[in-house]
Structure formats: structure tokens, C-alpha cells
Amino acid sequence: MQSLMSATHSKLRFIIEYVKMSSYQGTKSGTPKMENLNTEHVRGRHVLIIEDIYDTGRSMKELLIYLRTLGPHSLRTAIMLHKCNLANLEYNYVADFVGYAPAQHKEWVDS
């Protein structure tokens, strides 16, 4: 995150919000819970969600649904690791920017 801030600091005005999303209770996935979202920074703005791992997809689905109700100008997602499995296929979701998705994009590994 520090690299992103340094690279864009002089060129763009932006606000960074850290939102805690959790859906795991021990080792089992449950209902996603969201903490620390300042909704005032969403309406009418371009929003980019940066996520480390997309696993089951439940948390991302809930976050996207909620953020859309707040009226952002645009809503995009960037995921470092997109796990491709049956659990997240039901959500039919693919991030706008994907760093690595091993099961679907084997050619990225072979390059």
C-alpha cells in the first residue's frame, strides 16, 4: 500500500479506507461482517477495492452489494490471488484486476 501511495501521491487525490471483512468463525465460513467503513467517502466517488485473496466470494459479494447502495461513481476491484473453485464460481465474479488466478490462468505461470 505504501508503494501505491508513493507512486500516486503527487498525481492523484485519493482517500484510503481500511475495511475489515471477515466471514470465518474458526475454520468455517459464516456470515460476512464488515467493520470500519466510512460511508461518507463512497457516494459519488471512484472506489477501488484492493483485496489480498478471493476465496469463497461471500465477503466480496456482500461488500459489493452494500457499496453499490451508497452510490459510488464507479466501483472496481483488484485481487492479488483469485482462487478458482466451486465455492466462488456460484457468484460468477471476476475482479477487474487480477494478480494471479492459478486454476484458470496456468499460462501466467508458464510465461
Please state, in angstroms and rounded to a whole number, the distance separating the CA atoms of residues 100 and 38.
29
3-state helix, strand, coil in the chain (%, to 5): 30, 30, 40
Q: Which residues are catalytic?
A: 55
Positive or negative, the CA dihedral 95, 80, 48, 60 is positive
C-alpha grid cell for residue 65?
Answer: 452489494
With contact defined as beta carbons under 8 Å apart, do 68 and 88 qualify?
A: no
